[in-house]
Structure 1
Amino acid sequence: MYTVIEGGVTVAAGFQTASTAAGIKYKNRKDMAMIYSEKPCKAAGTFTTNIVKAAPVKWDQKIVKESEYAQAVVINAGIANACTGAEGMGYCAETAQAASAALNVPESAVLVASTGVIGMQLPMDKLKAGIAAMAPELSGTIESGTEAAKSIMTTDTRKKEVAVQFEIGGKTVTVGGMCKGSGMIHPNMCTMLSFVTTDIAISKELLQEALSADVKDTYNMISVDGDTSTNDTCLVLANGMAGNAEITEKNADYEEFCKALNYVNETLAKKMAGDGEGCTALFEVKVIGAESKAQAVTLSKSIITSSLTKAAIFGHDANWGRILCAMGYSGAQFDPEKVDLFFESAAGSMQIIKDGVALDYSEEQATKILSEPEVTAIADVKMGNASATAWGCDLTFDYVKINADYRS
């Protein structure tokens, strides 16, 4: 069993970070970060499903697939390096070259990640200067990790990090992570950059398998605005410095790691959904009693992406008809006359409909429940034992304001 601890990507043995204000797009704030491992790492990754893929995504896909190991990640905020043509791939190569020289690691061991405005060209002089400034400042302190998490934000309002520890084979293993993501967030990966570090010893194949399986229930189950980004990247680096016997098969140790990885990824996913651009509430949707996991996933995603439902959550309005409507156009088959619906939050819980029909509930109490910063809707379709959970947020006036002038 894992224990939640303070910190993020620097808590696992051997990992260090640095951050700097390179002036790539933002002024008077940090906008670059670097993650470095003292030892070479097994690397795994999952990436955007958008056909339009940013240059860093293509670069990282190649590194994860073909390189023997990875040892560093260079991240910039403000400019996405997406839709930048051949120059964009050249920027990735230049970034790797600069990091290679500064850190004394192979270029093939350098991963890159960018987030921000699509279509703008990266100012490589500033980016290279940022790398040179960060390399001597690398530190394994919790504070350094937190600063790195802050530096990769775009429209995020707060840093996002988490870490856990657990024991396997008498060794303490740590998994830590940080991410950014606030807008252009939609299931099947989003404008999110997520970086997970761990000192576990595990084969590259099982590391990738664990990550690929876990994103289905974590990052792929969040939505802010229904837009799937060009830059989505989730990277996991494992340097083996915990000293455990290397995990090469799906045994009890592997399962313990998967549980810890799931907690880290789910926590980061929920932090992104709850920090959606302009939002005031994290909106969680649980579909239970489904006949299959696929059915539950489809229904929960449909509810979480419904603009009308999201607007109702913003207005603290128990407009359950919008939820039932979103379920109805999802494509999943169910009997609407058997659906039970509940709302719950820190303010209490309440059943709103039974067998598809409204109960005589208190609108005042419902509004109180929906006024909390974290709100859950539970839909029971009474068809089986499968379930799924999705996360999103309310739709507010500020979302439009933020995205109406994002490039300025």
Structure 2
Amino acid sequence: MASTVADKRSGYGQLLRTPGAWTFLLPGFAARLPFAMLTIGIVLLVQDTTGSYGQAGAVAAVTGVSMALFAPQSGKLADRFGQRAVLVPGVIVHALAGSALVVLALSGAPLWALFAAAVPTGASVPQVGPMVRARWAARLQGSPLLQTAAAFESVTDEFTFVVGPVLATALCTGVHPAAGLVAEAGLTLVGGLLFAARRGTQPAHGRPAGTGRGRTSALSVPGVRVLAVAFLGIGSVFGGMQVSLTAFSEEIGQPGVNGLLYGLFAAGNMLAGVAIGTIAWKVGPRRRLLVGYALLTAAASLLWTAQSAALLGALGLVVGLCIAPTLITGYTLVDSLVPATARTEAFTWLTGAVALGQAAGVTAAGRLADGYGSSAGFVVPLAGTALALVTLMALRSRLSPPAGGRVAARGIGHRAAVTVD
């Protein structure tokens, strides 16, 4: 039965033949690439102007926390009023706020002023990834291709994190310390407006019939809260790696190698995502998530021991290989736990959790790297994933779809596991 499903699914080729897919995929990629440049662009700019990884991490953390707090509200508004209505003003505000942050950093403004600019910069980050996932879900209701779409989106995310940090690092080190953040703001504006223009593939929006004035948040679903904790741990890996790899590269006197090291980490994530989308799973998503997270924690526990760029690159690749399965499975589980009317909001809660974990990871790793060196900063991914793994194990029962099948009502039959797994 599993092989039959795999044949019908046939992987990415069939997925990309979905009518209308390319009309939102290409502008969606252009709009989400800058997000992968944001944190590293801030870290490199502020570290250059202040000389402190701690302050650079703190400014990046404010941006991440702001995004984490506002992203779910952006998703809720998109579900209610449509994606275009949220995106157009959002990308304009983001470009202006990012430009203000650049000007303040270069003018030697005090830290509080950088924080003040970082808040709107993070709050206005366009939630293009969740919006693309919502468009896939709207087009693939009831289709076994939904798992493949989740894998494809993870691959796309990680491809941006292969290209984005390398591009930002090259611009900051080869052109000007502010060039990475300037490019991020400009690309966000252009890409976001192009994506917003693709109205034909927007999911249906508006208040669901019979819901009255109130609307239940996706975060009220227990399983979504558990997954948010898991994604916080994944965010700590991203944040801890970005700062610690930068500090490590400075310590060995090769700042340019930072982009390559982070690219290896993201490449592992991307390669694993490609593989995940081609497998017809016989193991349920909850068990896959637990096993994948345990492997991620084990891999993260070795990062602080690396004493050479080659070993660190190899370990980063392994950590990346472990991240993609957990992200993909998490997004698949969310689709089985929440109703269609809260789909974009649910995805943005997870995206926001990653951003919040990344903010905490950047801050903690920056402080540790300043005080004790890059090896201490690599303890952050271990601590974040270990705490999240304990939570996942303790609350794993909440990751089961609701009895009676809310998902069945949405048309994504998760009771027959092979159609999704």
Bigger radius of gyration: 1
Query: What TM-score does the superposition give when structure 2 sets the normalisation length?
Result: 0.29
RCO greater where, 1 or 2, for CA within 8 Å and sep 6 or more? 2
Query: What TM-score does the superposition give when structure 1 sets the normalisation length?
Result: 0.29
In terms of fraction of residues, the more strand-rich structure is 1
In terms of fraction of residues, the more helix-rich structure is 2
